[in-house]
Amino acid sequence: MDARAQKSFAWSGPISMLMVLIAVSMSGFLPPPSPGASAEQIAAIYRANGSSICAGGILVMLSTAPFLLFIAVLSAQIKRIEGDRRTFTYAQLAAGTASMTPIILFPLAWCVAAFRPERGAEVIQAFDDLGFMTMVMVTPPAVIQVLVVGLAILSDTGARPVFPRWVGYASVLCAIADVPGLLCVLYKTGPFAWNGIIAGALPSLAFFPWVILMAVMLTKAIKQQEAEG
């Protein structure tokens, strides 16, 4: 992959995260509505903000495009670590691509909930539940992607490692922090609900900075690759 393209694509990850942040904010879901709210309370949100929610849903879906470019650059640099082995390279590529599926599905559920505001409140609430559970709970592909990146970095035994070793440990910690989102299906209130600090906020507070960190580290790795010819 051309070095100039790699440098550009490295920052497509943070661009994707910014798009998601803007989309969630414009939809009125920052912070997200409580899973303990009544059907009428949830329906009122969608009936009052349907256009904004649909526009935000479109923007979230569009954010997957730049993130796929980010995944490609990660694979290219992990390939430098592995050489002919490429197990981590293909695992990161597959997991990263699979992690885009819920990013398409959860805004789709929001859009369906907002599309026909005349529906019964329980129906709108059901799609709202589907959207937020998909957003927070369906994280295993992202967990595997981040974990594989960390393991690949820690496996680097070259004289000039592609990434600093501490970035590998940071990636493993980020992967662990993403796991509690799976628990949101068990709670409607508290830290493990989808709007709670552990299940809801912690994965985002770990993943978003990780993407920015990797963009910086990828840029340095690409410059190193250019210097090595």
Distance from C-alpha of 195 to C-alpha of 31, rounded to nearest angstrom: 7
User: In degrees rounded to 5, what are phi and psi of residue 44?
Assistant: -60, -35
Residue 76 lies in a domain: yes
Q: How many domains does the chain have?
A: 1
Domain hosting 188: range is: 3-224
The DSSP letter of residue 184 is: G
Average pLDDT on 22-36 reads: 94
Place of tokens 């943070």: 14
**Residues 121-162 pLDDT 10s:** 999 999 999 999 999 998 899 999 999 999 999 999 888 999
Residue 136 lies in a domain: yes
SS3 38: coil
Counting residues of the chain whose pLDDT is more than 70, the rounded percentage is: 99
Residue 95 lies in a domain: yes
Residue 229 lies in a domain: no
**Residues 57-113 pLDDT 10s:** 999 999 999 999 999 999 999 999 988 888 999 999 999 999 999 999 999 999 999
Average pLDDT on 41-54 reads: 96
**Residues 180-190 pLDDT 10s:** 999 999 999 99
pLDDT for 83: 85
Residue 10 lies in a domain: yes
pLDDT for 1: 57
Distance from C-alpha of 43 to C-alpha of 64, rounded to nearest angstrom: 28
Average pLDDT on 183-207 reads: 94
Residue 75 lies in a domain: yes
Distance from C-alpha of 25 to C-alpha of 46, rounded to nearest angstrom: 14
